[in-house]
């Protein structure tokens, strides 16, 4: 079963439920302009997901560092080992006891939920299901998440999203803690986590990166704190400081095309240089012209000798140039 369509005609929830009910394995890809989301299925259950935003795939390593789950030093070391062995980074993190298998599975489940939540905000886009393919075919570790649970969570958050976005319309907004709270609220763990990051200088986008809660939970916590009178908006609109390392994901076909174009460009440039400097066609034409001139000169010389012989036979005079011109045999 391979199918494709538009989410305007057949919604995200409907597509996920269909694959789940059929118990299929494959990769479901969604595209919206420069953004793409891929979801891997095993026996109808979601096992993996990735979000390629504006052509840049954000690696899980940056998320782990920003949220304090591993250090930058540990990430660098494990990334080097992963490249040398040709093994996925997450496998190396577990093998080197940087993360436990249970912690990794929780992180994967969380990232899947976050990506599916993002997908539910899309109002338009195309999808295509590739039967039998795998998203991360080399990794030893995977999870099995019921799409029905993700759909329920996603739909609930989408219902709340319009009022949250109305209060927090810009990811560059900066919040500060109120010195005197106008209301008293009971804070859950995620509100406490977000409140600890608010210092009057850090913007919403950076809070999302540092909280480890994901976009929707972080925004929800900020909304609750704002409505509860614990925090307030400042006049500052900041630029995000968290510049995570990003890596372009290039397929082998793209790499081969780039190499081919480079080779073709070099050949064209070399031909132009050779043509300008060496001028082979010009030189060839000069040689041909000179060779033709020699033939013409020989022909003229032979004709003149024949003319002199005829002139002497007829007139009895010596065939010198002056006599030939005077008697009109040749014209200068």
223-241 pLDDT, tens digit each: 989 988 889 988 776 666 5
pLDDT tier, 299 (very low <50, low <70, confident <90, very high otherwise): low
- 270 and 289 part of one domain: yes
| Pair 205, 328 in one domain | no
Asked if residue 244 is part of any domain, the answer here is: no
How would you class 297 by CB atoms within 10 Å of its CB: exposed for 0-12, middle for 13-18, buried for 19 or more? exposed
Q: What is the pLDDT of residue 245?
A: 42
**Do 134 and 190 have their domain in common?**
no
Number of independent structural domains in the chain: 3
CA separation for the pair 154, 158 (Å, rounded): 6
Distance of alpha carbon 6 from alpha carbon 11, whole angstroms: 8
Specify whether 285 is located in the same domain as 319: yes
In a domain, 325, yes or no: yes
In a domain, residue 243? The reply is no
Could you tell me the two tokens for 16? 């996920």
b/e 18-36 (16+ beta carbons within 10 angstroms → b): bbbeeebbbbbbbeeeebb
Q: Greater confidence, 297 or 109?
A: 109
Q: Supply the pLDDT for residue 88.
A: 83
CB within 8 A of 284, min separation 6: which ones? Answer: none
The whole-number pLDDT of residue 289 equals 53
Task: Indicate if the pLDDT at residue 28 is higher than 90.
Answer: yes
8-state DSSP, 317: S
Q: Do 308 and 328 share a domain, yes or no? A: yes
Does residue 214 fall inside a structural domain? yes
Residue where a domain stops, chosen among 114, 147, 163: 163
Q: Does 248 have pLDDT greater than 50?
A: no
Same domain? 111 vs 35:
yes
Residue 117's pLDDT band (cuts 50, 70, 90): confident
Q: Please report where in the chains the tokens 């397929």 appear, as a residue.
A: 251
Q: Are 201 and 174 in contact (CB under 8 A)?
A: yes
- 36: closest CA among 136, 153, 115, 154? 115
Residue 245 in any domain: the answer is: no
- Domain with 195 in it: what CATH number? 1.10.10.10
What pLDDT is stored for residue 6 in this prediction? 92
Residues 190 and 314 in one domain: no
Q: Is residue 265 part of a domain?
A: yes
CA distance 301 to 295: 10
More confident residue, 211 or 196: 196
Mark whether 232 and 264 lie in a shared domain. Answer: no
User: Domain check: are 40 and 77 in the same one?
Assistant: yes
Last residue of a domain, one of 237, 263, 289: 237
Q: Are 196 and 68 in contact (CB under 8 A)?
A: no
Residues 137 and 18 in one domain: yes
Same domain, 56 and 183: no
Q: Which of 226, 49, 27 is nearest to 130 (CA)?
A: 27
Q: Which domain holds residue 275?
A: 250-332
**Residue 244: predicted pLDDT:** 44
**How confident is the model over 123-171, as pLDDT tens digits?**
889 999 999 888 876 677 778 999 998 888 888 888 888 899 899 988 8
d(CA 265, CA 271) in angstroms, rounded, equals 10
Same domain, 190 and 229: yes
- The band of 56, judged by pLDDT with boundaries at 50, 70 and 90, is low
Residue 38's pLDDT is 93
> Which of 163, 202, 109, 228 shows the shortest CA–CA distance to 211?
202
Q: Cα–Cα distances in Å, from 48 out to 4, 6, 111, 139? A: 20, 22, 9, 11
CA distance 292 to 298: 10
Domain C-terminal end among 237, 268, 298: 237
């Amino acid at each position: 079963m391979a199918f494709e369509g538009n989410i305007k005609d057949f919604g995200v929830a409907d597509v996920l439920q269909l694959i789940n009910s059929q118990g299929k394995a494959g990769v479901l890809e969604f595209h919206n302009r420069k953004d793409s989301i891929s979801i891997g299925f095993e026996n109808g259950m979601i096992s993996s997901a990735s979000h390629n935003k504006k052509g840049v795939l954000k690696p899980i390593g940056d998320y782990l560092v920003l949220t304090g789950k591993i250090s930058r030093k540990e990430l660098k070391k494990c990334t080097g080992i992963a490249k040398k062995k040709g093994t996925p980074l997450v496998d190396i993190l577990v093998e080197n006891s940087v993360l436990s298998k249970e912690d990794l599975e929780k992180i994967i489940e969380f990232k899947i939920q976050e990506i599916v939540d993002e997908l539910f905000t899309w109002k338009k886009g195309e999808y295509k299901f590739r039967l039998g393919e795998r998203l991360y075919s080399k990794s030893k570790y995977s999870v099995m998440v019921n799409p029905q649970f993700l759909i329920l969570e996603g739909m609930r958050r989408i219902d709340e999203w319009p009022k949250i976005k109305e209060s927090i319309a810009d990811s560059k907004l900066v919040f500060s803690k109120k010195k005197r709270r106008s209301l008293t609220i009971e804070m859950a763990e995620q509100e406490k986590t977000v409140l600890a990051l608010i210092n009057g200088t850090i913007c919403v986008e950076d809070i999302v990166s540092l909280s480890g809660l994901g976009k929707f939970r972080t925004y929800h916590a900020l909304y609750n704190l704002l409505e509860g009178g614990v925090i307030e908006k400042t006049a500052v609109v900041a630029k995000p400081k968290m510049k995570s390392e990003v890596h372009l994901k290039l397929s082998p076909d793209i790499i081969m095309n780039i190499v081919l174009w480079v080779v073709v460009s070099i050949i064209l440039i070399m031909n132009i240089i050779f043509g300008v400097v060496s001028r082979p066609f010009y030189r060839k034409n000069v040689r041909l012209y000179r060779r033709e001139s020699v033939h013409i000169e020989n022909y003229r010389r032979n004709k003149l000798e024949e003319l002199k012989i005829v002139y002497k036979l007829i007139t009895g005079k010596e065939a010198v140039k002056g006599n030939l011109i005077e008697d009109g045999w040749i014209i200068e």
